[in-house]
């Protein structure tokens, strides 16, 4: 296990370097120039060339691409992600107010979905082809079929029309005002968690039904064990491997911020920040955000792999 963990940790370095290089190249291939946007926007055609060249020099865009990439990597090694080309502020400062919001949304949505999805998935599998199973399947399929942004819009409309409530415009951390934070985060969590729970419920039901058909489960039934012991103690643990993978992948995805949900509820999180940075060709911000998201995916995948060995003792890593 120790050798496997060391190898996986070492593989993080080339993985992140590859991601950073790909994003670096893509951001410079797409049309547009951040210097033109800063100087004139739509009137860029009337910008003096000398003024444009001076702006390129000020932003460091007149240097060779390899030099720009090397400077950025050196800064990352010192936990310095550079300065936003659009706002002029350090990227790390831009992230301070946004990353906690996206992390809170991802963690709360994961907790809510897991607490709902796994019991409902187990119940649907244990009561297969009964009205309980059909009801859970209809609700979960609805979560998959209805877009999250539409659920969010419906929630806001109902709250505004019947309760006169609108989403707060400024994020309040839970350690400053828990009630204000709850008011702001509860409905985005419900919106995101509904789809998250629907996917996890379907996966839990499918994998558990597959495990319940195995020979050792039939042996457990033949021994006269109670349904709770057979389903929860023997079947659920083996059925959880694909579910854990799904939960981890969805959490890593939300770590980057659900862009549409953040937009609907006016949450200034990482997702919206990525979209704004791409629109403004803000290279350092995009590179930093993608780098952090990729790092989150790598760590989550590592935790998932290590969890496999705990759930299934037959799995051994070398």
Which residues, at least 6 apart from 148, have a Cβ–Cβ distance to it below 8 Å? 191, 192, 194, 195, 258, 260, 261
Q: 252 with 107: CB under 8 angstroms?
A: no
* Per-residue pLDDT, 135: 93
Regions of the chain short of the pLDDT cut 70: 1-2, 4, 31-48, 51, 58-59, 167, 255-257, 311-318
* Per-residue pLDDT, 201: 92
* Per-residue pLDDT, 2: 67
Task: Specify whether 121 is located in the same domain as 8.
Answer: no
Task: Specify whether 192 is located in the same domain as 51.
Answer: no
* Per-residue pLDDT, 44: 46
- Among residues 274, 278, 279, 281, the alpha carbon closest in space to that of 61 is found at 281
312 within domain boundaries: no
Which residues, at least 6 apart from 241, have a Cβ–Cβ distance to it below 8 Å? 207, 308, 311, 312
The number of distinct structural domains making up the chain is 2
136 within domain boundaries: yes
* Per-residue pLDDT, 8: 75
295 within domain boundaries: no
Q: 199 with 246: CB under 8 angstroms?
A: yes
* Per-residue pLDDT, 104: 86
72 within domain boundaries: yes
Distances (CA, A) of 110 to 115, 116, 231, 248: 8, 10, 23, 9
Q: 260 with 149: CB under 8 angstroms?
A: yes
Which residues, at least 6 apart from 63, have a Cβ–Cβ distance to it below 8 Å? 71
Task: Specify whether 6 is located in the same domain as 37.
Answer: yes
We report the CATH number of the domain holding residue 126 as 1.10.3720.10
Task: Specify whether 112 is located in the same domain as 251.
Answer: yes
* Per-residue pLDDT, 184: 82
Task: Specify whether 222 is located in the same domain as 110.
Answer: yes
Residue 64's domain spans which residues? 2-84
Task: Specify whether 50 is located in the same domain as 145.
Answer: no
């Amino acid at each position: 296990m120790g050798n496997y963990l060391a190898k996986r940790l070492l593989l993080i370095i080339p993985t992140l370097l590859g991601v950073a290089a790909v994003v670096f190249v893509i951001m410079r291939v797409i049309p547009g120039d951040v210097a033109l946007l800063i100087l004139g926007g739509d009137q860029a055609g009337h910008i003096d060339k000398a003024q444009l060249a001076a702006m390129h020099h000020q932003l460091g865009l007149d240097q060779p691409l390899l030099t720009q990439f090397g400077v950025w990597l050196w800064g990352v090694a010192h936990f310095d992600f550079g300065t936003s080309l659009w706002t002029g502020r350090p990227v790390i400062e831009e992230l301070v107010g946004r990353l906690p919001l996206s992390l809170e949304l991802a963690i709360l949505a994961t907790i809510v979905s897991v607490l709902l999805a796994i019991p409902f998935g187990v119940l649907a599998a244990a009561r297969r082809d009964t009205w309980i199973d059909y009801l859970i399947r209809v609700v979960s399929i609805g979560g998959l079929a209805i877009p999250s942004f539409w659920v969010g819009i419906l929630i806001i409309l109902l709250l505004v029309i019947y309760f006169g409530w609108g989403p707060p415009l400024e994020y309040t951390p839970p350690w400053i005002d828990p009630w204000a934070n709850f008011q702001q985060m509860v409905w985005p969590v419900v919106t995101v968690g509904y789809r998250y729970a629907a996917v996890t419920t379907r996966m839990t039901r499918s994998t558990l039904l597959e495990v319940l058909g195995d020979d050792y489960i039939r042996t457990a039934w033949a021994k006269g064990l109670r349904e709770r012991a057979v389903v929860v103690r023997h079947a659920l643990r083996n059925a959880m491997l694909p579910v854990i993978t799904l939960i981890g992948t969805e959490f890593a995805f939300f770590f980057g911020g659900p862009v549409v949900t953040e937009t609907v509820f006016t949450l200034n999180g990482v997702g919206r920040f990525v979209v704004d940075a791409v629109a403004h060709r803000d290279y350092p911000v995009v590179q930093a955000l993608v780098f952090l998201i990729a790092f989150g995916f790598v760590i989550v995948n590592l935790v998932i792999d290590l969890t496999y060995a705990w759930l299934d003792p037959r799995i051994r890593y070398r």
